[in-house]
Amino acid sequence: MYHRNIKILDYIIRTNKLCKKYKETTALNHVSLNIPQGAVYGLIGNNGAGKTTLMRILANLQVPTSGSVRKMRGIRVGAVIETPAIYPLLSARGNLKYQMSITGAKGKSIKALLELVRLHDTGKLAVNYSLGMKQRLGLAMALAGKPDFLILDEPLNGLDPEGIKDMRTVIADLNQKHGMSILISSHILGELQKIATDYGFLKNGTLIREFNSNEIAGTDLETFYFENIL
């Protein structure tokens, strides 16, 4: 288990009655989310619950219809939402170099980024990468600006057991060794429970409840989810 036994006093991001509507559809309905500084926050919900919309708003990729987002002063946000924006005819180094040139990112060196996400065999073009390598490259690109808060949308999706374990270790290292607060959306609840310190359940655009890992000690997250959501 990767849970940290520290007392977290501050919140890195909070939302207040956040709403997002698309014509007649309500994607988010008065969501008040609280993400502690230093947390790995697991965002859980079925397809269509509003997770991606919420993450896009937190990443400044969309604006809410109403409500507000309050972020800790001066934080930098990195995100991998939906499909990583990878250029298939560039290598990993080429992708990172181009990403840093168009965003003006001045964070870690390319070599340090690749080592951080454990991406090897980086000489070949990204079109030939496995899904796990693409996930790592997308993560490295999100880390190029040295974010304080990282948003990951289904980072374990489609990976084999070894790939899941490696990605889980990378995420835990970013949190514990580099002090990064992380929001993860994932349907793989057993794996999420191994790294998350806090959770939020979304259903039909509404935040049903928030809790931390201590509240589910002795039970599994999947059972807790089905008892409290469905």
Strand 206-212 relative to strand 198-203, pairing: antiparallel
Nearest to 129 by CA among 143, 141, 112: 141
pLDDT of residue 153: 94
pLDDT at residue 229 tops 50: yes
Whole-number Cα distances in Å, 219 to 41, 105, 222, 223, 228: 18, 42, 9, 7, 13
Could you list the beta-strand ranges (E) of the chain.
Answer: 11-22, 25-31, 34-36, 40-44, 66-71, 77-80, 149-153, 181-185, 198-203, 206-212
Two tokens at 70? 């309050």
Share of the chain above pLDDT 70, in %: 93
The pTM for the full model equals 0.90
Of the pLDDT bands very low, low, confident and very high (cuts 50, 70, 90), residue 95 is very high
Whole-number Cα distances in Å, 152 to 98, 168, 170: 21, 12, 12
pLDDT of residue 104: 74
- Which DSSP helix (H) or strand (E) runs through 137? helix 131-143
pLDDT per position as a tens digit, 44-86: 998 889 999 999 999 999 999 999 999 999 999 999 998 788 9
Q: Which residue has the higher pLDDT, 133 or 6?
A: 133
Two tokens at 45? 């919900």
State mean pLDDT over 154-180. 91
Q: How far apart are CA 64 and CA 57, in angstroms?
A: 7
State mean pLDDT over 123-148. 90
Whole-number Cα distances in Å, 113 to 3, 38, 67: 24, 21, 35
Q: How far apart are CA 211 and CA 147, in angstroms?
A: 25
- Is residue 113 a contact partner of residue 99, using CB atoms and an 8 Å limit? no
For the chain, first and last CA: distance in Å? 27
Of the pLDDT bands very low, low, confident and very high (cuts 50, 70, 90), residue 183 is very high
Of the pLDDT bands very low, low, confident and very high (cuts 50, 70, 90), residue 107 is low
